[in-house]
Amino acid sequence: MRTVLHIGSPKTGTTTLQRCLLASKKTLRALGVLYPRPPGGEKTHAVLLRGLFHPEHMPRIERHRPADPRARERFLDELGAEIAASRPAALVLSYEGFFRLLPTAALPTIRRQLESFGTKEITIAAYLRRPSEYYLSALQQSLKASATPKPPATENLRAVLEPYGDVFGEQSLRVRRFHRESLEEGDIISDFVRNFLPEAAPARAELAKPGRVNESMSAEAMDILRRYRQNFHPDEDGVFRRGSTRLHRQLSELDRHLGLPRPRLRPDVAEAIDHQAVDLPWLRERHGVEFRGIDYGKIAPPPPVTAITHQLEDLVVIDPEARRALVEALAASPWATEFPWRDLLRLVAGGASRRSWVARLAAEFAHGGRR
């Protein structure tokens, strides 16, 4: 048996891939590929990291899950039994939380456990986005739970990837560029099957289509969502709320209806991020991954970090007319016209309801407001 450990990175279609593999479990099983069902209704194999380091260091989205001290051992016991019963040719495990600095003992522990199941070959599958594209996607994600835009920054790629080469062998680490023109058929599922799961290639057309996952918001929608968080949850950065989740879904639907384009970073911001990604020359030399349009001769370490509060308008290109049209459509949408009990409580407390807030925002945008 061989094992493919898919580690992300984040914002490279990981949720789409995981949902496809899980929904296609029976089809894959018939082809000799085992994608074990994560425990407790989870979507990823995050359980593999539990207990290997302090819970506070887990990715934010995983911290709220029940801290069952035996969850990891129970999953490994069940996985061992499933492998013994089905004797698959390939085992696939996936979790983007692996793409982070891990405790020294974590990867050797995972390698020993995988080898105890009889795996003879371990492949580490990693996808990487252009640094500025990754930042833009991460910025959108952060605004779902924060009013403060995520400051521009680059990932520490080398520090994350090198330990995998040290523990599993440099030849085991396979890194691919995540971009439509680089992926097989422009699709993460086809690319993963072609490059990491040849056993499943004959049934590629039969694999489940996960539908829309983590869709991109327009820059105008990003600004409206930020303002909502600023007004209704000003002191709750990093906390997901049902109201903002529903607003995000409504804005995404209106984006499609109005035909608003994907967001774009301001050119100077994108260039600064890409040219401060000091790990890119190493990535090109060691793994053959190169991002077009970046002048590698200009790459240099970023300046010292300063406490700068960025306005969203300073980071992305916002069309005032498109934003005005979007907020007018939002004012007539079910999200704004319904009257949940929380709105009643806000009114009693002297605050604003969704409807009154959207109306005020529409008036502000009609006069070209910026804040």
DSSP secondary structure code for residue 65 in this structure: S
Residues 244-266 have pLDDT tens digits of: 899 999 999 999 999 999 999 99
| Mean residue pLDDT across the chain | 88
- For the chain, give every domain's residue range: 2-206, 219-263+315-366
Q: How far is the C-alpha of 52 from the C-alpha of 102, rounded, in Å?
A: 9
- Tell me the pLDDT band of 7, cut-offs 50, 70 and 90: very high
Give the CA dihedral 162, 166, 169, 171, nearest 10 degrees.
20
Q: Confirm if 305 and 347 have CB atoms less than 8 A apart.
A: no
Low-confidence winner among 51-65, 73-87, 143-157 (lowest mean pLDDT): 51-65
Residues 31-72 have pLDDT tens digits of: 999 999 998 888 899 899 887 765 555 555 455 454 566 888
Contacts of 130 (CB under 8 A, 6+ apart): 179, 274, 291, 294
pLDDT at 346 over 70: no
Residues 306-328 have pLDDT tens digits of: 656 678 999 999 999 999 999 99
Q: Confirm if 7 and 167 have CB atoms less than 8 A apart.
A: no
CA 178, 259, 311, 212 torsion: positive or negative? negative
Residues 326-343 have pLDDT tens digits of: 999 999 999 888 776 566
- Cβ atoms within 10 A of the Cβ of 242, count? 9
Q: How far is the C-alpha of 112 from the C-alpha of 161, rounded, in Å?
A: 19
Contacts of 91 (CB under 8 A, 6+ apart): 1, 2, 3, 4, 33, 34, 36, 83, 114, 117, 119
Residues 160-212 have pLDDT tens digits of: 999 999 999 999 999 999 998 999 988 999 999 999 999 999 988 888 877 66
Q: Confirm if 33 and 152 have CB atoms less than 8 A apart.
A: no
Quote the crossing angle between the two packed helices 106-116 and 157-168, to the nearest 10°.
40
For tokens 């009154």, the residue is 356
- Cβ atoms within 10 A of the Cβ of 89, count? 14
The predicted model gives 139-161 an average pLDDT of 92
Query: Which pLDDT value is given to residue 353?
Result: 79
- Helical residues (DSSP H) of the chain, grouped into ranges: 14-23, 25-30, 60-63, 71-86, 106-116, 131-143, 157-168, 188-196, 219-232, 242-258, 267-274, 280-287, 320-331, 334-337, 341-348, 354-366
For tokens 């934010």, the residue is 60
Q: How far is the C-alpha of 154 from the C-alpha of 271, rounded, in Å?
A: 12
CATH of domain 2-206: 3.40.50
Query: Which pLDDT value is given to residue 155?
Result: 87
CA 52, 55, 56, 62 torsion: positive or negative? positive
